[in-house]
Amino acid sequence: MVSIRPAEVGDLLQMQQCNLFNLPENYNMRYWFYHIMTWTHLPHVAVDEASGKIVGYVLSKMEEDSTKKDLIPHGHITSISVLRSHRKLGIATRLMRATHTQMQQVYGAKYVSLHVRMSNRAALGMYRDVLKYEEIDLEYEYYADKEHAYDMCLFFDPSVREKVIEMNRAEHAKKKAEKLKEKETASTLSESGS
Ligand X SMILES: CC(C)(COP(=O)(O)OP(=O)(O)OC[C@H]1O[C@@H](n2cnc3c(N)ncnc32)[C@H](O)[C@@H]1OP(=O)(O)O)[C@@H](O)C(=O)NCCC(=O)NCCS
State in angstroms the smallest separation of the CB of 182 from ligand X. Answer: 28
How many residues at the interface with ligand X, by CB under 6 A? 21
d(CA 176, CA 46): 39
Residues in the chain: 194
Residue 99 and residue 106: Cα distance in Å, rounded?
10
* CB neighbour class for 30 (10 Å; exposed up to 12, middle 13-18, buried from 19): exposed
147-182 exposure pattern, b = at least 16 Cβ within 10 A, e = fewer: eebbbbbbbbeeebeeebeeebeeebeeeeeeeeee
Closer CB to ligand X, 64 or 129, in the complex = 129
Amino acid letter, residue 165: I
Considering only 36-44, 117-125, 165-173, 181-189, which stretch makes contact with ligand X by CB under 6 A? 117-125
Contact characters 24-43, ligand X, x per CB under 6 A: --------------------
129 binds ligand X (CB under 6 A): yes
Residues 42-101 close enough to bind ligand X by CB under 6 A? 80-82, 87-93
- Stretches 9-17, 97-105, 123-131, 160-168: which one binds ligand X (CB under 6 A)? 123-131
Is residue 2 at the binding interface for ligand X, with CB under 6 A as the rule?
A: no
- Closest C-alpha to 33, from 84, 93, 78, 99: 78
| CA gap 151, 133 in Å, rounded | 10
Cβ closest to ligand X, residue 87 vs residue 148: 87
Q: Is 160 helix (H, G, I), strand (E, B) or coil?
A: helix
Choice between 3 and 93, CB closer to ligand X:
93
Q: Is 123 in the site for ligand X (CB under 6 A)?
A: yes
Q: How near is the Cβ of 185 to ligand X at its closest, in Å? A: 34
Binding interface with ligand X (CB under 6 A):
22-23, 80-82, 87-93, 116, 120-123, 125-126, 129-130
